[in-house]
Amino acid sequence: MSKTPLARAVALATLGASLTLPSLAQADFIADSKATLELRNFYMNRDLRDTTAAQQSKREEWAQGFILKAESGFTEGTVGFGLDAYAGLGLKLDSSDERAGTGLLPNSFGNEGPDEYSEFSGAVKARISKTVGKVGGLMPKLPIVTSGDSRLLPQVFTGGMITSQEIDGLTLNGGQLREVNQRASTDRVDITATNVGGESDRYNFAGGDYKFNGGNTTVGLWYGELEDIYDQKLYNLIHVQPIGDWKLGGNLAYFDSQDNGRKLGGKLDNDLTSINLWAGIGAHTFRVGYQKVGGDNAFPFLTETDPYIVNYIQILDFTRKDEKSWQARYDINFASYGIPGLSAFVRYVTGDGFDGVGGASGKEWERDVDISYIIQEGPLKNLGVRWRNAMVRSNASIGDLDENRLIVSYTIPLM
């Protein structure tokens, strides 16, 4: 798509409305800037099969999201400065008191919620050599903390972080998150964690990974601390090995989580092992996964983030105390069959070993079908359509449910 003067002006205004210092208007600051506007139309239907007449029988909503992301380049000089900006708007297209609570909108069962909600954040950044620091709105994508983006608008943290790549193959990250704006919210609040009580206004993290063996092998070491709640260490090994026409690979992650002065719920002690193995040839990729939860508690992770574990999938995460789970997955890319842009996968995960409802031996499984198509050319180039279907059967508190998500997205480059 051509970048019109109007589109360029809109993007520059978003990045630099508050800039008045001429020294900031350097060529790299503008020439290296980029901005996109994503239009995300999201329909979600969750059939809650284990309900009585007095309970909610389904969650069904439809919404339109607008996601603007803009990043400037850096000013010239030994220390370069820049700005990033994010704005999100969610519009309710269809909902009701009886069907609310999908996570697309700021509402819940019995409360239809507002017709729209919006959020905005910005970050200032500085660069010295190959080290960049940012303060403000952040969407980290790190193994120890990954901002969630599985609903209408993404999750945004407030804090600061530094990324350094001074040594070839080595990437180091560190920082502190102070507040979070959850996916269907307009409020910045303290940070909480799934499977753990309490809240904190400080999540400290540090770590990095090193690539070697021609980039085929990566080792990682990470640390995260939700202050006064828990701390967590992550050890990670990734290896990819081409053998003839095949590409084989594996990802091993081990988490060690401990109490950090938590005042509610007693002491915390947890370890989790996640193994993901794959083999690909041509259009086909076959995957198997294994996940084991050990220790005295369920696995803790920041609320609404995407934890770096193999069996965190569309609905379930298989992180209950003592749960063991296995995954089988098959992916296909139809470009090899003359349909570029079309891809799909089917996935089945089963877990057991935990305590079910009423003291029963816990068992649960989830089956997912995911089909995506991105138009490759013509006036609708880059328009994407994705259908996600899931079925869950569980004798834990979540019960049995079926779900469909239909997502239509279109990203417009503004500069």
* pLDDT of amino acid 3: 43
How confident is the model over 12-39, as a mean pLDDT? 66
* pLDDT of amino acid 16: 47
Most confident stretch, 15-19, 107-111, 132-136, 360-364? 132-136
What backbone phi and psi angles, to 5 degrees, belong to 335? Answer: -60, -35
Query: How does residue 211 score in pLDDT terms, banded at 50, 70 and 90?
Result: very high
Closest CA to 347 of 363, 375, 366, 332: 366
Q: Is 70 helix (H, G, I), strand (E, B) or coil?
A: strand
pTM comes to 0.91
CA distance 171 to 77: 23
* pLDDT of amino acid 10: 41
* pLDDT of amino acid 197: 85
* pLDDT of amino acid 27: 58
Is the model's pLDDT at 295 over the cut of 60?
A: yes
Query: How does residue 415 score in pLDDT terms, banded at 50, 70 and 90?
Result: confident
Is the model's pLDDT at 231 over the cut of 80?
A: yes
Is the model's pLDDT at 245 over the cut of 50?
A: yes
How confident is the model over 396-413, as a mean pLDDT? 95
Tens of pLDDT, residues 305-323: 999 999 999 999 999 999 9
How confident is the model over 257-279, as a mean pLDDT? 88
Query: How does residue 124 score in pLDDT terms, banded at 50, 70 and 90?
Result: very high
CA distance 48 to 69: 35
Is the model's pLDDT at 18 over the cut of 60?
A: no
Q: Is 198 helix (H, G, I), strand (E, B) or coil?
A: strand
Q: Please return the burial class of 143, using the count of CB atoms within 10 Å of its CB with bins 0-12, 13-18 and 19+.
A: buried
Tens of pLDDT, residues 36-68: 999 999 999 999 987 655 588 999 999 999 999
CA distance 91 to 105: 8
Q: How is residue 95 written in tokens?
A: 């909902």
% of residues, the chain, pLDDT over 90: 84
Is the model's pLDDT at 357 over the cut of 90?
A: no
% of residues, the chain, pLDDT over 70: 91
* pLDDT of amino acid 284: 98
Is the model's pLDDT at 149 over the cut of 70?
A: yes
CA distance 327 to 332: 17
- Amino acid occupying residue 211: K
- Evaluate whether 339 touches 286 at the Cβ level (below 8 Å): no
Query: How does residue 264 score in pLDDT terms, banded at 50, 70 and 90?
Result: low
Listed in sequence order, the residues at least 6 apart from 95 whose beta carbon sits closer than 8 Å to its beta carbon are 60, 61, 62, 63, 105, 107, 112, 113
* pLDDT of amino acid 360: 87
* pLDDT of amino acid 12: 45
- Evaluate whether 328 touches 350 at the Cβ level (below 8 Å): no
How confident is the model over 408-413, as a mean pLDDT? 96
* pLDDT of amino acid 265: 65
Is the model's pLDDT at 187 over the cut of 80?
A: yes
* Mean pLDDT score across all residues of the chain: 92
Residues in the chain: 415
Is the model's pLDDT at 83 over the cut of 70?
A: yes
Tens of pLDDT, residues 322-351: 999 999 999 999 999 999 999 999 999 999
* pLDDT of amino acid 200: 95
* pLDDT of amino acid 52: 55
- Evaluate whether 83 touches 75 at the Cβ level (below 8 Å): no
